Structure 1
Amino acid sequence: MEDLELKHLFGGAYAGMRVLVTGHTGFKGSWLCLWLQAMGAKVAGIALSPDTEPSHWNLLALKGIADERIDLRHAEKLYEAVQHHRPQVVFHLAAQPLVRHSYVDPVGTFSTNVIGLVSLYEAIRKISGVLAVVNATTDKVYLEQATTGGYSEEHALGGHDPYSTSKACAELVSESYRRSFFTGTGKVVPRLATARAGNVIGGGDWAADRLVPDLVRAASRGTPLQVRNPDAIRPWQHVLEPLSGYLRLGQALLAGEPAEGPWNFGPAPGATLPVLALVERLREHWPGVSVQVPGVEHLHEAAVLQLDSGKAALGLGWRPVWDADMTITRTMGWYRNFHVHGFVDSRDNLVDYIRHARSSGLEWAA
């Protein structure tokens, strides 16, 4: 990455900045740490240990990042870590992120995604110096309803499964803290925003019950891919897309732009596809994978999810960089390189993504 001046991305907002990433050992969190460190940020992470083997975090082997293994629900330990690292910017990604697992462990899902968030906000509230907080939630926070053009930030929050409901609660908790505590004049208070992204794919994800990791496991084992809810429509995007949105949002908060509140970061046009249609396109890059639809799925998941990112386009100058074809090509190329050659090309993916963002005229990449 030496050939790019990464410290100048996002107006140089993160160079030398103390940044805390919760959930840094997870899929999105590990990619975010890679990007932040490349921009010269002083990164600390708070998370549980990776729950998959292999894990993207372990494969990256990033040096110089303070790595704290703390459960968000342990409020005292969390506060001590936040106080010790005294971040200026916080990206909150730690969560129980799986819909189906939330049916198995609803108590753990709500306690992590809601009470854990409250504990983090309390820790931030008790120290000084935090300037900006970005809480990553999900597109699944919206009340399920028919829409024209997808869900916008003005649509009602809701939830059916425990995961979606817990994340809708996290949105309400965030708005409550923003209005009740992170406000005022004559003092430095954190500026807070929430970020709602679509179904994220990309190299380095091995979580259970996610489509791409399931396909990769099936391909490597020579077993059929079990596809549940094949007709469900989802907004698919490469992991770097929402992360560029989070970073642009953090930049705006630091600069005093009107950026507080909720923001959607959805995929490029044409990347909102039925599950089975995405599977067929993924299989083009890994031939020989057979597909099985095991039967009726009894656990409720929304039939259609589509995001309207117009607010981010107008208010932040943000838009997706990679279309569906590039997203799929880069994702499957990452896994093929890893499984065939043992090569982790996350850094190359990041460099190419930034180059494409720059060539498409996005200001944050200039």
Structure 2
Amino acid sequence: MRALVTGGAGFIGSHLTDALLAQGATVTVLDTLTSGRRERLPEDVDLRQIDITDAPAVTAVIKELRPEVVFHLAAQIDVRASVVDPAHDSAVNIGGTITLLEAARTVDARLVFASTGGALYGMDAPIPSDERVPPAPEAPYGTAKYCAEQYLALFNRLYGTRHIALRLGNVYGPRQDPAGEAGVISIFCGRVHEGQEPIVYGDGTQTRDYVYVGDVVTAFLAADASDQGGTWNIGTGRETSVLDLIKHIGQAAGRETAPSFAPARLGELQRSTLDATAARNDLGWFPLLSITEGIDRVYAWIREGRSDRTTP
């Protein structure tokens, strides 16, 4: 199989690249290396430093490589940044996706898109939320991801393609930067390891559906193996509060951990959890790792030096 992975030098994308290479696929990575890191990838991987909003460059590389599948993970992922600059967020998350769809159509490639579940369903959604819940995002990031999903669905109707959108929960695991803007588990583990307090925005009772990166990679592979097009949630169906995270991290660190508190941030939900029953039924996918096991792995990764080549 010939595969293209946008955002392949990122946290999730690099793990997916490794899994595809292990299956014998020919893989090319597109990444600006703005937040992605070359060190996360095997030395001999084909890396093209191209922005997905650069339509001529994207079209040229897809026509050159003629991939059978494009795994589209490149994105502007910071919810707070989307509130500050929604135009940039939409240019990357909507415009970049359209560019890839148009380029993929020239070589009859399929697109598997990393969408969001956590930022899409809105504050009044039932818990857990399934794919039938009407999206009501609270920030430009979720709005842009939903709009990009609609373009995938439109192309499926217009051109008979079988593009797939995976609505991911809050993905965590090794290689997620503890000093980054997203990824509360890695950030908290990093602070606790350094003897600092985790900073909780709000009262800490807010919940998310935390899904381990290794399970997310298997979801992408299952989506590619399917002959269906459509949209599926990828999550655990379990709520975990921020305060619960801190308790689990303290257990992993072997000491009690107390947070400091700061005001809640604009555009963030109080509760979010995904019902992934459809992914189990349609794709044969389900998560394997518990939150406690996953946090143990993240804390061990940080304690051991945060290698960019750690496997999930």
TM-score by length of 2: 0.92
After superposition, the Cα gap between the structure-2 partners of 1:61 and 1:197, relative to the gap in structure 1 and judged at 3 Å, is: closer
Alignment-derived partner of residue 187 in structure 1? none
Aligned partners of 2:31, 2:91: CA distance in 1, in Å? 15
After TM superposition, give the deviation of residue 61 of structure 1 in Å.
4.1
Contact between 2:149 and 2:165, CA under 8 Å: does it hold in 1? Answer: yes
Is 1:165 equivalent to 2:165 in the alignment? no
Which residue identity does 2:206 align to in structure 1?
A
Alignment-derived partner of residue 5 in structure 1? none
**Deviation by residue 1:200-235 (Cα, 9 ceiling, x = unmatched):** 110111122431232244235433221113121100
Structure 1, gaps ≥5 residues long: 1-16, 184-189, 254-258, 350-366
Structure 2 counterpart SS, 1:155: coil
Max radius of gyration: which structure? 1
Moved more, 162-171 or 328-337: 328-337
Aligned partners of 2:209, 2:158: CA distance in 1, in Å? 33
Number of paired residues? 307
Is 1:175 equivalent to 2:153 in the alignment? yes
Is 1:292 equivalent to 2:260 in the alignment? yes
Is 1:205 equivalent to 2:173 in the alignment? no
Is 1:42 equivalent to 2:26 in the alignment? yes
The sequence identity of aligned pairs, in percent, is: 28
Which residue identity does 2:143 align to in structure 1?
T
After superposition, the Cα gap between the structure-2 partners of 1:335 and 1:39, relative to the gap in structure 1 and judged at 3 Å, is: same
After TM superposition, give the deviation of residue 248 of structure 1 in Å.
0.3
Structure 2 counterpart SS, 1:141: coil
Is 1:273 equivalent to 2:243 in the alignment? no
Alignment-derived partner of residue 7 in structure 1? none
Is 1:31 equivalent to 2:11 in the alignment? no
What's the C-alpha RMSD, in Å, of the aligned pairs? 1.9
Aligned partners of 2:114, 2:125: CA distance in 1, in Å? 24
Aligned partners of 1:307, 1:297: CA distance in 2, in Å? 22
Aligned partners of 1:124, 1:208: CA distance in 2, in Å? 31
- Which of 196, 209, 218 is matched with 2:191 structurally? 218
Is 1:239 equivalent to 2:210 in the alignment? no
After TM superposition, give the deviation of residue 272 of structure 1 in Å.
2.0
TM-score by length of 1: 0.79
Contact between 2:93 and 2:144, CA under 8 Å: does it hold in 1? Answer: yes
Is 1:142 equivalent to 2:111 in the alignment? no
Aligned partners of 2:190, 2:256: CA distance in 1, in Å? 13
Contact between 1:235 and 1:307, CA under 8 Å: does it hold in 2? Answer: yes
Which residue identity does 1:174 align to in structure 2?
L
Is 1:67 equivalent to 2:82 in the alignment? no
Aligned partners of 2:41, 2:58: CA distance in 1, in Å? 24
Structure 2 counterpart SS, 1:285: helix
Is 1:192 equivalent to 2:172 in the alignment? no
Alignment-derived partner of residue 11 in structure 1? none
- Which of 20, 42, 47 is matched with 2:4 structurally? 20
After TM superposition, give the deviation of residue 134 of structure 1 in Å.
0.7
Query: In the TM superposition, what are the counterparts of 1:76-115 in structure 2 within 5 Å?
Result: 76-115=56-95
Alignment-derived partner of residue 336 in structure 1? 303
Contact between 2:189 and 2:298, CA under 8 Å: does it hold in 1? Answer: no
After TM superposition, give the deviation of residue 260 of structure 1 in Å.
0.9
Contact between 1:198 and 1:265, CA under 8 Å: does it hold in 2? Answer: yes
Structure 1 ranges of 4+ moved more than 6 A:
none
